[in-house]
Structure 1
Amino acid sequence: MNDSPGCPLIGVAATYMPRLSEMTSEPGLAAAVDQHAAAVCDALIPAQRGRDQDRTVRREELADYVLGFTDWLTGVDWTEPVGHDFATLRLTAVCWLIREHDLLDV
């Protein structure tokens, strides 16, 4: 999963961005992705920075998060299921953040 050169967000977006379209027809999926996106934001944006500055997700921080998460997935020999599990929801949420914050348009 981490074998693509460059920013890890590119590979995640290429693989999981299509899952965002499923959110329009599955309200439960939309809610789950929203919760995962909030959890990622909470991990990336400390509360004190959130009060003093805007809560913008930064590309470098999200890329570091993705590297750590995908390294963990590799370590546990995770394989992508047909449906949605914790990892696919988290990676789909990362794609939502990429899209919402225009993190590939830099």
Structure 2
Amino acid sequence: MNDSPGCPLADVAATYGPRLSECSSEPGLVAALDQHEAAVCDALVPARRGARRRAVGREELGDYVLGFTDRLAEVAWVEPAGHDFATLRLTAVCRLIRDHGLLGTAS
């Protein structure tokens, strides 16, 4: 699967993907990532009573990322050295990208 220039998932994976390894050794950050990942999935794929959750799609996750990063730009957010709500959310998006193979390569 080829990525078009400016693909929001490719940009997020390149920027926040390295944070996945930072978070993997800290139990508190792993738990926070789990919660953020669940929140993104719930926003994209609302749970249906008795139904299995379907996989997250590339287009819908890309739309989510565009909306989320547009809001960050509106509030003039600056990425901190540590982990805040936005960096954890974007790092969780990276894990979804990786786990669902949304870039066609390992991220």
Shift of 1:48: 2.8
* Pairs aligned (count): 102
Q: C-alpha separation between the residues in 2 aligned to 1:49 and 1:98?
A: 26
Question: What is the CA deviation profile of residues 43-93 of structure 1, one whole-angstrom value per residue up to 9, with x for unaligned ones?
Answer: 000223981x54200000000000000000000000000000000000000
The question of 1:72 aligning with 2:71 is answered yes
1:73–1:100 distance in 2 versus 1, CA, 3 Å: same
Residue pairs, 1:82-93, within 5 angstroms: 82-93=81-92
Amino acid paired to 1:99: R
Amino acid paired to 1:24: S
Amino acid paired to 1:105: G
Amino acid paired to 2:44: L
What's the TM-score once normalised by structure 2's chain length?
A: 0.88
Cα pair 2:55 2:100 within 8 Å, conserved = yes
Q: C-alpha separation between the residues in 1 aligned to 2:65 and 2:99?
A: 16
CA-atom RMSD in angstroms: 1.9
1:50–1:7 distance in 2 versus 1, CA, 3 Å: farther
Q: C-alpha separation between the residues in 2 aligned to 1:54 and 1:25?
A: 28
In structure 1, the residue corresponding to 2:17 is in which secondary structure?
A: helix
In structure 1, the residue corresponding to 2:79 is in which secondary structure?
A: coil
Gaps of 5+ in 1: none
The question of 1:38 aligning with 2:38 is answered yes
Q: C-alpha separation between the residues in 2 aligned to 1:45 and 1:24?
A: 25
Identity of aligned residues (%): 74
Shift of 1:25: 1.4
